[in-house]
Chains A and B, each alone.
Chain A
């Protein structure tokens, strides 16, 4: 029962520098709990305190973004490949993003609503 997980540079401090680690689990949530037992702290960089996937971390199962597969409930099978990529994002909009380092979810919510607003305005 092994699922290959590709770790981005910025999170390799949790995996002893390893680019690829293996884990197990029937869902993404199970997999992250399993990984956290060997790579303590990794889960906290991906999942908010409220128990949701961080807005600005992209997780893929094989070729699919997990947001389209049920996020943390995404089903996994032996042999799947999971890829983690921190979102590449930013911009001049300087709202309280400094707080994002400590409480990522608040800033994420602010950006989501901002993006939605500009999307509506663009129509």
Chain B
């Protein structure tokens, strides 16, 4: 089973971006070394659609960022966007347009003012598979890891903390 393992500081930056653009949807990328499956470089993108229900990368920014990743031997490990009034689960629109089969599609819901729902998915050939999000507390202890596994419905949130 796939797991998205991501540093706390990157998650915090993504959530801050989503809050800043709320009620419009926010979107972006976290790049990482090719083949590493490790997101390291957060790149907030403009939502060219500037919409509460739709996002689209600006085509010129998209080219620039993808070329930059190519030059640095990186790939888009995470592609994220926010849903601002609904749950953090891929819509049919998200599934239709998912064009990076190797990426973790991270969704953040900002519909609640005080808490965020953060979930990650693989979307390959129209099939959505949820995966756990493992938030790494690098600033405190690189071996201390908190695991979050959200259930399919926000009403049944599974939470586990594995201290090593």
Query: Is there contact, CB below 8 Å, between A101 and B100?
Result: no
Q: Would A92 and B49 count as touching, CB distance under 8 A?
A: no
Task: Confirm or deny: B72 has a beta carbon within 8 angstroms of a beta carbon on chain A.
Answer: no
Q: Does A122 contact B (CB under 8 A)?
A: yes
Instruction: Say whether A33 faces chain B, with CB atoms less than 8 Å apart.
Output: no
Please tell me if the beta carbons of B100 and A9 are within 8 angstroms of each other in the complex: yes
Contact of A115 (CB < 8 Å), options: B25, B54, B83: B54
The CA of A101 and the CA of B53, in the complex, are separated in Å by 19
List chain A residues, Cβ under 8 A from B81.
90-91
Please measure, in the bound complex, the distance between the C-alpha atom of A96 and the C-alpha atom of B95, giving whole angstroms. Answer: 12
Q: In the complex, A11→B27 CA distance in Å?
A: 23
Alpha-carbon distance A122/B60, docked complex (angstroms): 22
Q: What is the total number of residues of chain B having a CB less than 8 Å from a CB of chain A?
A: 37
- B99→A86 contact, CB < 8 A: yes
| Minimum distance in angstroms from B162 CB to a CB of chain A | 32
Nearest chain A CB to B39 CB, angstrom units: 16
Q: Does A23 contact B (CB under 8 A)?
A: no
Interface-lining segment among A24-32, A55-63, A69-77: A55-63
Listed by A's residue number, 18 A-B pairs whose Cβ atoms lie within 8 Å are A10-B100, A56-B97, A60-B59, A65-B63, A85-B66, A88-B62, A88-B97, A89-B49, A90-B90, A91-B25, A91-B49, A91-B51, A92-B54, A92-B85, A96-B92, A101-B96, A114-B53, A118-B54
